[in-house]
Amino acid sequence: MSEQNLQNMADLVAHCKQRGFIFQSSEIYGGLGSCWDMGPLGVELKNNIKNTWWKSMTNRTDVDGIDAAILMHPTVWKASGHIDNFTDPMVDCKSCKGRFRADQIDLTAPCPTCKAKDSFTEPRNFNLMFSTHMGPVQESAAVVYLRPETAQGIFVNFLNVQTTMRRKLPFGIAQIGKAFRNEITPGNFIFRTREFEQMEMQYFIKPGTQMEAMEQWKQIRWDWHIRNGLRPDKLRFKKHDELAHYADAAFDIEYEFAHGWGEMEGIHSRTDFDLKNHQEYSKKNLQYVDQMDGNKKFIPYVLETSVGCDRCMLAVMSDAYRTEFPGDAEKERVVMRFKPSLAPIKAAVLPLMKKPDLEGVAEKLLADLQIDYKCEYDTAGSIGKRYRRQDEIGTPACLTVDFDSLVDQAVTIRHRDTMVQERVSLDKVKSYLKDKFDL
Ligand code: GAP
């Protein structure tokens, strides 16, 4: 039997829509550019990814979590450098009004959309932050921004967390939340969107220890992606040669998406750039007093790990998507080989036929499993078709209740990846799922 990885993004986009993972935002109105809605299965998968990240970060004695507001004091963005530096160079086509990133197209060539010649405006800097107004009257209200990264919510709470949690360096603060960027060229499905979620952790350290911390966190973050089931040959580190305005070293973890290698996570040594600027703009003392070193005062350095939740989800889905060709077209199948703990649905309970006695057993089993797991219950169509549907959404186990179940008090458990079937007694199903699938 041969099998094929995901060949192009269009197949995944179609699969996600057909199977209830991801829908275009405001689809009945024709959609809204580069905004996507998580469907019933997408939200489960995304929550599972967020939960593993949250656990891996906060089930440590040196990291606390927070959940800061999206709207922040406007001076935050002055201090962080976003008002002055968070820009992309942009050109417009005077003919078709298309907008492009000046650094991504050949400005001497015709417009890529309408083919007009010499039609570009001069490049100008375009700030990627969305702004809105806070207060009841638009004219007099303050301009505020939708945060373009969650990190600043952590920096402005550095002192609050350090003092309330009685933290000594090194320690970290983790957060998951929405971020917004008015990207000029979004695309590739949920790879680059204008509204997305980040999972960020800022690790506060002594100056001079940043390279050690970089090596430590590069390994931790690599291992996390591998634990999520991503294939190592589809992952790589990429060192930044050009650094962002705040960094003195940076690596990306890249994944080989259907459209090519792309950044999934950034690991940045941000020095004391952010805290120093917040101290200057807020006039609050953000220095750390090192009681272990003669009460020396200094502004901590920061090692940041920042992963896009949606990009990570795109990698997990792309990696899991397989088409199997057993040589018999009838038996061809698409299967999402999620790591079971990430799968949106953990088990499907399938009474062989719509008969009250079979359904009675099945419903009882379902009620018991649902205490711990998200399950599906399906009575419609042939059992083969029902298995296929579960394969396509990545359910690790199908539990079939048949007429023998009424006699032997057991069900057939069919494995998603191997399609192997085993008979397991009803009272052992839960522990079987837990052991075999590590759920
Ligand atoms: N605090 C640092 C920071 O925000 P970044 O490299 O700009 O760094 C971090 O973003 C991660 O956020 C990226 O690696 C990517 O996974 C995700 N990300 C950034 N822009 C995105 C967008 N427009 N759509 C989806 N994810 C995005």
The alpha carbon of 308 and the centre of ligand 1 are apart by a number of angstroms equal to 5
Residue closest by Cα to atom 20 of ligand 1: 192
How high is the pLDDT of residue 186?
A: 87
**């040589």: which residue's tokens?**
327
Q: Please identify every stretch of the chain with a pLDDT value under 50, giving residue numbers as ranges.
A: none
Residue 354 burial class via C-beta count within 10 angstroms: exposed 0-12, middle 13-18, buried 19 and up:
exposed
How high is the pLDDT of residue 329?
A: 82
Residue pair 305/99 in contact (Cβ under 8 Å)? The answer is no
How high is the pLDDT of residue 27?
A: 96
Residue 377 burial class via C-beta count within 10 angstroms: exposed 0-12, middle 13-18, buried 19 and up:
middle
Question: Residue ranges of the domains in the chain?
Answer: 2-76+146-318, 87-127, 345-437
Ligand 1 atom with least separation from CA of 191: 25
If you classify domain 2-76+146-318 with CATH, what class do you get?
Answer: alpha beta
How high is the pLDDT of residue 140?
A: 65
How high is the pLDDT of residue 327?
A: 85
Which 3 state secondary structure label does DSSP give 400? strand
Residue 216 burial class via C-beta count within 10 angstroms: exposed 0-12, middle 13-18, buried 19 and up:
middle
Separation between Cα atoms, residue 79 and residue 243, nearest integer Å: 18
The per-residue pLDDT for range 289-333, each reduced to its tens digit, is 999 999 999 999 999 999 999 999 999 999 999 999 988 888 899
In this structure, the number of other CB atoms found within 10 A of the CB of residue 413 comes to 21
Q: In the 8-state DSSP scheme, what is residue 238?
A: E
How high is the pLDDT of residue 328?
A: 85
Cis peptide before 89 (omega within 30 of 0): no
Residue closest by Cα to atom 21 of ligand 1: 192
Query: Domain 345-437 belongs to what topology?
Result: Rossmann fold (3.40.50)
Compute CA distances 101 → 225, 260, 264, 290, 431, whole Å.
31, 19, 21, 46, 54
Separation between Cα atoms, residue 24 and residue 351, nearest integer Å: 34
Ligand 1 contacts (CB < 6 A) are 149, 151, 181, 183, 192-193, 196, 198, 200, 263-266, 304, 306-308, 310-311
Ligand 1, pocket-test mutation among 149, 150, 183, 189, most atoms within 8 A of CB: 149
**């060709």: which residue's tokens?**
325
Residue pair 71/153 in contact (Cβ under 8 Å)? The answer is no
Tell me the whole-structure pTM to 2 decimals: 0.95
